[in-house]
Structures are given as structure tokens and as C-alpha cells.
Amino acid sequence: MKTIVVQWDCRFGDPEFNFGRAMELMDREPADIYVLPELCLSGYNFKDKQEVDYLSEESHGAYAHRFMDLARSRNCFLAYGFAEKASAGIYNSANLIGPDGLIGTYRKIHLFNRETLFFLPGDRPFRVYETPVGKLGLMVCFDWFFPESARTLALQGAELILHPSNLVLSWCPDAMRYHALWNGVYTATSNRIGREDRGGHVFEYIGRSIIYSPQGELLAEAPLEQEGICSAELDLSLAREKDLNEYNDRIQSRQPEFYSDISVT
């Protein structure tokens, strides 16, 4: 099952350009699953809530429909990040789309830095979607910093974690290796490149979109600063084999009764 992670320099405030760029890059190679970056239509570095509002759309909005048309015509699945307009406010979300339409919307739970000024934190649990290509979990960018994110998806049976990102912390591409290894899942992180200097706030994005196997093997890695795609063939049945040896299993060997948050005084 071929998976492609896509990275480009998302242009702030220009969803039409960004959608076109995504199409051009996806046109380079057919795949079963594509992963696009976080907030890949709007850009990331908002100055104020008005911008977020103006650049957001509903989970079934116009661009979602265009991605659905694309997935139908190519018979593929794709995950992409966008600013989701909802009745309670705006979420930093990712849609999972397949040939039959919208499969689900994940709302980023762990907001990073100034995102906390503009977005509501996700109000729904992590969730795994059973699809014809496998069991797919979604998390968005800074969720990586919390081991519970990937673990929760793995405990729900995720075989592949799709991870749209706008990474600014350099550790993430390497850290994803351990989420993959510890949980025995594939991970596919799509990260943008470029720099956004807006309203006195600068973010530099680190590229290195990356795919790991359930054994933590590097399967594909994009460069730091170059637009493009990178791909890997995944055998998702390997993500169902959690044993490390005759005696240890990544899931069964856990000791959850000792993992309580309650501190000892």
C-alpha cells in the first residue's frame, strides 16, 4: 500500500494557491494514501482571530469537496490539515477523505504556542477509522509531544498514524521513530517548509516529512528545505504484530495499573 507525504511552502492566506500546489505535487506519483501538512490551505502564522475566521471552512466546506472529488477520481485516501469553522468556534483540524467522501475530522487536542489564542482545543477523543486500506489514526503536529496521542491510537488498533504537521521543533522527525517503535505502528508525518514572518512573530518550518515502520525503520524522508513528495510501500499487517520476542509484547506487556496520574506523597 503506497503512502506519500507531501511538503511545500504553504502560502499564507492563499488557499487557492495551496490547493493547486497540493494537486501538482500529488500528480507526480499515484498512491493509495496521501498526507498533506497541517493548516495547508490557510497557512499557519495568523495575526488575529479575524484572519482565522476568514480562512476557515466547515469540515464539509468547499475545499473539502474539492479534495473529495480528487480522492474519488484517483481512488485514493488523503489527510490534510485545515482551520475548521464549527458552531462553538474554530478548531485546528484534519480531515480524512476517501473515494466515498469524508470519513472523519480530527480536532487537534494539544495546541501549540499562539494557536492557543486562535483555536479551541479538540473536543473529541482520538479515534481510529477502519477503511478498506487499513486502520488509520489521525493526530496533528504538536500532538507528537505527548506520547499518549500515538499510544491511544495504537491501543485502538491503528496500523498507520497520519500526522499532518507544521513543525518548528527540530526533534519531531526523530521522535516519530519512537512513537512507531513503541506502538508497533507505521507513522507518516507530512510537514511544510518555509518561513512565516507576520505581525512580529516568526515561525520557520523544518520540512523532513517522514515515514517510519512499526520497527522504527526509516522508510522515507524529505529534505529540510525542498518542496516535494516522498513515498513508501507499507504492509499494514506488520502493524498487527506487536510481539518483540517470545515473552514481550508492546501492548500486552504494559502494566497500566502502575500508570496512574496520582502522585505519591
Instruction: For the beta carbon of residue 65, count every other beta carbon within 10 angstroms.
Output: 14
Q: Is 145 in contact with 110 (CB distance < 8 Å)?
A: yes
230 as an active site residue: the answer is no
- Tell me the per-residue interface mask from 156 to 195 with ligand ACM, x by CB under 6 A, - otherwise: ----------xxx---------------------------
- Three-class secondary structure of residue 141 per DSSP: helix
Q: Of these, 77, 112, 129, 186, which contacts ligand ACM (CB under 6 A)?
A: 112
Using alpha carbons only, what angle is made at residue 62 by residues 52 and 162, rounded to the nearest 5 degrees?
75
51 as an active site residue: the answer is no
β-bridge partners, 105: 95
Indicate whether 38 belongs to the interface with ligand ACM (CB under 6 A): yes
Q: How far is the CB of 115 from ligand ACM (least distance, A)?
A: 7
Give Cα separations from 165 to 112, 227, 237, 241 (angstroms).
Answer: 11, 14, 26, 27
Indicate whether 141 belongs to the interface with ligand ACM (CB under 6 A): yes
Q: Is 188 in contact with 230 (CB distance < 8 Å)?
A: no
38 as an active site residue: the answer is yes
Q: By C-alpha distance, which of 103, 31, 100 is closest to 72? A: 100
Binding to ligand ACM, residues 197-256 (CB under 6 A): none
- Three-class secondary structure of residue 158 per DSSP: coil
Q: How far is the CB of 244 from ligand ACM (least distance, A)?
A: 31
Q: Of these, 12, 63, 119, 142, which contacts ligand ACM (CB under 6 A)?
A: 142
Q: Tell me the site size for ligand ACM, rule CB under 6 A.
A: 7
Q: Which of 108, 159, 172, 196 is labelled catalytic?
A: 108
Pick 154 or 167: Cβ nearer ligand ACM: 167
Pick 118 or 184: Cβ nearer ligand ACM: 118
β-bridge partners, 80: 95
Q: Which residues bind ligand ACM (CB under 6 A)?
A: 38, 112, 141-142, 166-168
